[in-house]
Amino acid sequence: MRPRTRAIVFLVAAAGVVVLLAWGLAGLPRFGAYHGVYGREINAHGVHQRHATNVVNTIVFDYRGFDTVGEEFILFAAVIGVPLLLRHQRDESDVSGHDWAEGRSAPGTSDAVRVATLGLIAPSVLLGLYTVAHGQLTPGGGFQGGAVLVAPALFVYLAGRFLMLRSVHPMHALDFGEGTGAAGFVVVGLVGLVAGAAYLSNAFPKGHVGSVLSGGDLPIINVSVGLEVAAGLTLVLYEFLEQTLLVRRR
Amino acid sequence: MTVGVVQAVAMTLVGVLALAVVVTRNPLHQVMVFGLFGSSLAVFFLVVQAPDVSLSEIVVGSAALPAMFLLTLAKVRNRERRG
């Protein structure tokens, strides 16, 4: 196709897209306009029904709990897939024996990075645990808190060396944490069945609105999802580092 | 509800940084710009009253995902040198 023909085809297509886009945008509701009947219903009854002030958490782990079980296993499958793909292949080797910048020593981790990350390890652990534990009360929950708990692992890696991370994060504990976390959610759901109601319906005492142990099974689910996400994501990070190191060593 | 100043600034930032991610050609630079884009998205979620989503975005978009990209880049580069 000649450039001239190509330009004409593009201009016609682009004009079409612009018209369609403008037409669609013109029909959008105003910014912040909300037509969701379902949302209003949950806002009106959510706190009363589940004694949990973070309605988002109630939706994710109760009203839409079954969806979330599925989502959790998407992450679970992804985490299983990473070690599988990154496993140490038999014929794999690396060429890092060749020095591409001879006579120039690689700069080590700067003291600034080291001090800053060392100082951030403890606060990030605390923030992660807080986010998990208060999931049913304030913004946050198992997924968010679990993801925050990956940060300390990154900080340990940045502050020290990979080998140090290796001694802090034993593989078996991570595997165990990931499995237990994923299974915990499913088991909590089964408790609802055993109690004679639907899967994932609450069978635990609901407690007082606003206290840490309120919301029935929500805190238990938050902790188990937090465990799964934290262990799973750390495992992925660990696998990447481990694999690079193993290949390089040969 | 109309668009407030803070929301407008956050939206513009998201748009500009998203464009910046696309026009950055060097993968290493792109990862860094992507981290900034993730942070701007987190700010945007916060100012439209979705703190739960914002929290996830901070960790996933501005830390975990760029870290994985960096590790992948490091790995790919090692392999490229061999060839």
What does the pLDDT look like over B5-64, one tens digit per residue? 999 999 999 999 999 999 999 999 999 999 999 999 999 999 988 888 898 888 788 777
Mean pLDDT of chain A: 84
Position B72 pLDDT exceeds 70? yes
Confidence of residue A157 (pLDDT cuts 50, 70, 90): confident
Helix, strand, coil percentages (3-state) for chain B, rounded to 5, are 85, 0, 15
Q: What is the mean pLDDT of residues A38-51?
A: 88
- Among chain B residues, the shortest Cα distance to A34 is held by B1
Which of A240, A242, A243 to probe the B interface (max B CBs under 10 A)?
A240
Q: A19-23, A168-172, A225-229 — which is least confidently predicted?
A: A168-172
Any CB–CB contact under 8 A between A22 and chain B? no
Position B82 pLDDT exceeds 60? no
Q: What is the mean pLDDT of residues A198-216?
A: 86
CA distance B81 to chain A (A): 7
Confidence of residue A21 (pLDDT cuts 50, 70, 90): very high
Judged by CB atoms closer than 8 Å, whether chains meet at A95 and B1 is answered as no
Q: A163-167, A199-203, B65-69 — which is least confidently predicted?
A: A163-167
Q: Which residue is associated with the tokens 């991610």?
A: B21
More confident position, B4 or A96: B4
pLDDT of residue A247: 57
Instruction: Give the Cα separation of A25 and A37 in Å (integer).
Output: 23
Q: A13-17, A143-147, B4-8, B78-82 — which is least confidently predicted?
A: B78-82
The DSSP code sequence of A163-230 is HHHHHHS-HHHHHHHHHHHHHHHHHHHHHHHHTTS-TT---S----TTSTT-STTHHHHHHHHHHHHH
Cβ atoms of B61 and B45 closer than 8 Å: no
Cβ atoms of A107 and A190 closer than 8 Å: no
CB < 8 Å to B71, chain A? 237, 240-241, 244
Which phi-psi region, left, alpha or beta, contains residue A239 (left: φ > 0; alpha: ψ -120 to 50)?
A: alpha
Which of B7, B44, B59, B71 to probe the A interface (max A CBs under 10 A)?
B59
Q: What is the mean pLDDT of residues A146-150?
A: 88
Q: Could you say which residues from 106 to 135 on chain A have a Cβ atom under 8 Å away from some Cβ of chain B?
A: 131
Judged by CB atoms closer than 8 Å, whether chains meet at A143 and B74 is answered as no
Position A109 pLDDT exceeds 70? yes
pLDDT of residue A250: 47
pLDDT of residue A206: 86
Q: Write out the two tokens for A184.
A: 């915990």
pLDDT of residue A105: 58
Q: What is the mean pLDDT of residues A157-171?
A: 68
Judged by CB atoms closer than 8 Å, whether chains meet at B78 and A150 is answered as no
More confident position, B70 or A1: B70
Instruction: Give the Cα separation of A150 and A121 in Å (integer).
Output: 10
pLDDT of residue B64: 79
Segment holding A138, helix H or strand E: none
CB < 8 Å to B3, chain A? 31
Which of A28, A30, A31 to probe the B interface (max B CBs under 10 A)?
A31
What Å distances lie between residue A41 and A46, A68, A117, A235, B49, CA to CA?
A: 8, 20, 45, 40, 19
| Complex prediction ipTM | 0.76
Instruction: Give the Cα separation of A39 and B69 in Å (integer).
Output: 37
- Among chain A residues, the shortest Cα distance to B71 is held by A240
What Å distances lie between residue B62 and A148, B7, B56, CA to CA?
A: 12, 20, 10
Segment holding A241, helix H or strand E: helix A218-249
Of A199, A164, A213, A184, the closest CA to residue A52 belongs to A213
CB < 8 Å to A32, chain B? 1-2
More confident position, A224 or A89: A224
A to B CB pairs, distance under 8 Å: 64
Position A68 pLDDT exceeds 60? yes
DSSP state of A64: T
Q: What is the mean pLDDT of residues A125-129?
A: 93
